[in-house]
Amino acid sequence: MENIEIFSDQDIGMIAKRFKTLSEASRLKIIKALQNGEKCVTDIIKITGLLQANVSKQLKILENDGIVTCRPAGLQRFYKISDPIVFQICQEVCQSKKTN
């Protein structure tokens, strides 16, 4: 049987970075908060129960990894999911855990 390369070494780096980003519970809470659309930081804080400093830090990490985008509007900043594949990744992990 022939070995077929599923992903390259470059892909491995990208995959590792994405899973590292998704490995933090507070970032997953923020992703969940943004599941139904764009929210400002205040709304994210209310939904997640996280502190403002932590939300800001985690949003920056999510933004740097391309998972969320930010839209400034006056004094507020609104965030939304820019890569909805994260929901599929999370669902796959949950489904896999339930079947094992």
CATH of the domain at 34: 1.10.10.10
Count of domains forming the chain: 1
d(CA 75, CA 28): 25
Residue 85 in domain? yes
Residue 70 in domain? yes
Predicted pLDDT of residue 4: 64
> Nearest 5°: phi and psi at 40?
-85, 165
Task: Please state, as a whole number, how many other Cβ atoms lie within 10 Å of the Cβ of residue 57.
Answer: 15
Question: Which residues in the chain show pLDDT less than 50?
Answer: 1
Predicted pLDDT of residue 6: 82
Sheet strand arrangement including 76-81: 39-40, 76-81, 68-73
Q: What is the pTM of this model?
A: 0.86
* Pairing state between β 39-40 and 76-81: antiparallel
Residue 20 in domain? no
Domain membership of residue 71 as a residue range: 25-99
Residue 91 in domain? yes
Which pair of tokens denotes residue 8?
A: 């390259």
Residue 14 in domain? no
